[in-house]
Structure 1
Amino acid sequence: MNVMALMKALPGSVAQGLIWGLLAIGVYITYKVLDYADLTVDGSLCTGGAVAVMMMLGGYNPYLALIGATVAGMAAGLVTGVFHVTFGIPAILSGILTQLGLYSVNMRIMGKSNQAISVDEYPLILSLRDISNTIIVSTIFCAVVIGILYWFFGTELGRSIRATGNNENMSRAQGINTKTMKIVGLMISNGLVGLSGALYAQYQGNADVNMGRGAIVIGLAAVIIGGVLFGKIFRNFAMRLVGVIFGAILYFVVITVVLQLGMETTDLKLVSALIVAAFLAVPYMRGQYYVKHGKKGGKANA
């Protein structure tokens, strides 16, 4: 492995990890807070990128384009929520249906499968050409989002969403409209995914109809890695979100190391699946170890 090449590639991994960390926070909200298996993100990431790029190509301010991308992502989450709570479609299937439909929607938005946008012609907020600026800007976005979410989930509405995820039946008995809470949670989640897609499209200089393929795996990897490595350290809700960001960064660092070891890029999906599987297995294996250790300790004490 070329150590110098790895060191040069690491800042890019950190930049990508920060951008995708916003998507991972969105996944965290559905997967951990709402206890909802949402697969919409594979489509809503591209929706955010497509809306942002097309708005900027149309002459809109980049920050206004980010707002448009966020709203578009929230709309995707709304559709998934309506499918689930209004029509009774199971959580996983509702996300798949929305994701499938978004492919055509994204094609309609862009007019073709790929739309490029150059940093030389448009005032992009961040770009692959300036990694240092990308890291700074992405860090600011992550910090602001975490601050807003920390405040929001401390409000009555936010606590109602958390209660719905913890125990839906008990929440309903307490007078909480759990259907509405699910829809709001899905909208917030996919709004963050849309924002992530908008930033990522600017970073790579284009929006592609396939840019969201496998996004849910990356998001889950970040959530799981963050939970396994920092779960016992970061107890506070805001710090858990920070752990998710770190998980996303570590994921891309691992991918970079794997590529530097000479593995083909076509194997990245396999590597991603193995990373997720490995970190999913860690809590279970650790629990099994402590169970056996406790039994041995008990016999010894007896």
Structure 2
Amino acid sequence: MSFEFFLGSLEIGLIYALVSLGVFISFRLLDFPDLTADGSFPLGGAICGLCLYIGVDPWTAIILGTFGGCIAGMITGWLYVKLNILQLLASIIVMIALYSVNLRILGLAPYIMGETPRMAGSPNLALLDATTIFSPFINADYTNQYIVQPVMILGFVIVFWLLLNSFLNTQKGLALRATGTNARMAKSQGIPTGGTIILGMAISNGLIALGGALFVQTQGGADITIGVGTIVIGLASIIIGESIFPAKRMWAITLSVIFGSILYRLFIAIALGNEWLQSIGIGTEDLNLITAVLVVLALVLPKQLKKWTHRQGKAA
């Protein structure tokens, strides 16, 4: 694996670390099976891409993309809390709706700029000449691009990891954790569980959309398909992180999720770059299959290792 390839994998791993933190909030803290992630990730990217295309400041574009994800998460929470729609079904409804919304947003940019006579949906949006948050720091010949982008994204991950841990230790954050652990008990203690769930879903999908906004700025384009498998990647990162770095304190657990995301992307990069696997026909089209295998191994291996250690202890 070349150094540039390693940095590229690290960059994607750090972007999906933000996604994994968002998925961690919904799945682990709120116990909410949320498939909105597959729609909110490209939503953040689409809004960010639209803003960049029409000349909006890239930092503002990221904020707006993140805010769009927050709204998507709030709608999912609202469908569950106020309309009593099942959690999984509510998230599927929003995810399906966001597909059309994202198509419309991606098609809106050329219409605003007068490049098309009518407003129609589009599956992608090219941003090759757009100014991004990385542009001021990248050389004209792009020689330092592979270093600048991962370092800046690492800064985002550190900042939002610190903010998330600070929030989870506030009264609101503790209420959110209590709601996910036992909603009935939390309600009996006077915690507004409905509002807490909506807040948690907003934060969760806001982080996921932030990842989408950063992803678009690193890739030079927005595409409707970038959200496919987002929830699987987030869950895989959480499972790998918790299996390899078991922890009890919240700051350590969230840190393990970040490491899990980075390791996941490195495992994928190694698998796709392995000459033996390539010789038997394994390629990029098998990405989801490799992900499934990694998740199974992360779930099974720690348990089998414990059993083996226990047997060795008895034998001794």
Q: Report the AA paired with residue 101 of structure 1.
A: A
1:239 offset after TM fit, Å?
A: 2.7
Distance 1:227 1:110 in 2: 36
CA distances 1:18-61 after superposition (whole Å, capped 9, x unpaired)? 01110010011111111111111001000000000101111111
Distance 1:139 1:267 in 2: 28
CA distances 1:223-260 after superposition (whole Å, capped 9, x unpaired)? 1111111124xx43223222111111111111111111
Partner of 1:9: 5
Distance 2:90 2:309 in 1: 38
Partner of 2:113: none
Alignment of 1:281-292 (within 5 A): 281-286=300-305, 288=307
Distance 2:152 2:22 in 1: 19
CA distances 1:109-154 after superposition (whole Å, capped 9, x unpaired)? 1111000112xx3321248951211111011101110111111111
1:7 offset after TM fit, Å?
A: 4.2
Partner of 1:251: 264
Moved more, 122-131 or 91-100: 122-131
Residues 91 and 148 (structure 1 numbering): CA distance in 2 closer, same or farther, change over 3 Å? same
Moved more, 85-94 or 251-260: 85-94
Secondary structure of the 1:125 match is: coil
Out of 36, 49, 53, the position equivalent to 1:53 is: 49
Out of 139, 143, 155, the position equivalent to 1:140 is: 155
Alignment of 1:153-172 (within 5 A): 153-172=168-187
- Identity rate, percent: 38
| Structure 2 runs not aligned, ≥5 long | 108-121
1:107 offset after TM fit, Å?
A: 0.5
Residues 285 and 96 (structure 1 numbering): CA distance in 2 closer, same or farther, change over 3 Å? farther
- The answer to whether structure 1 residue 216 and structure 2 residue 212 are counterparts is no
Out of 116, 119, 123, the position equivalent to 2:126 is: 116
Distance 2:187 2:181 in 1: 12
CA contact (8 A) 1:117 1:206 kept: yes
Distance 2:89 2:304 in 1: 30
Q: Report the AA paired with residue 186 of structure 1.
A: M
TM-score for the superposition, normalised by structure 2: 0.86
Distance 1:124 1:238 in 2: 31
- The answer to whether structure 1 residue 264 and structure 2 residue 283 are counterparts is yes
TM-score for the superposition, normalised by structure 1: 0.90
Alignment of 1:6-155 (within 5 A): 6-111=2-107, 112-118=122-128, 121-126=129-134, 130-155=145-170
Aligned residues: 289
Residues 92 and 290 (structure 1 numbering): CA distance in 2 closer, same or farther, change over 3 Å? farther
- The answer to whether structure 1 residue 227 and structure 2 residue 228 are counterparts is no
Out of 209, 212, 217, the position equivalent to 1:197 is: 212
Secondary structure of the 1:158 match is: helix
Distance 1:291 1:176 in 2: 42
Aligned-residue CA RMSD in angstroms? 1.9
Distance 2:246 2:188 in 1: 31
CA contact (8 A) 2:18 2:157 kept: yes
CA contact (8 A) 1:126 1:199 kept: no
1:285 offset after TM fit, Å?
A: 3.5
CA contact (8 A) 1:72 1:191 kept: yes
| Structure 1 runs not aligned, ≥5 long | none
Secondary structure of the 1:59 match is: coil
Distance 1:126 1:288 in 2: 48
Distance 2:308 2:26 in 1: 30
Moved more, 195-204 or 177-186: 177-186
Distance 1:44 1:24 in 2: 13
Q: Report the AA paired with residue 62 of structure 1.
A: P
Secondary structure of the 2:200 match is: helix
CA contact (8 A) 1:75 1:187 kept: yes
Partner of 2:298: 279
Secondary structure of the 1:115 match is: strand
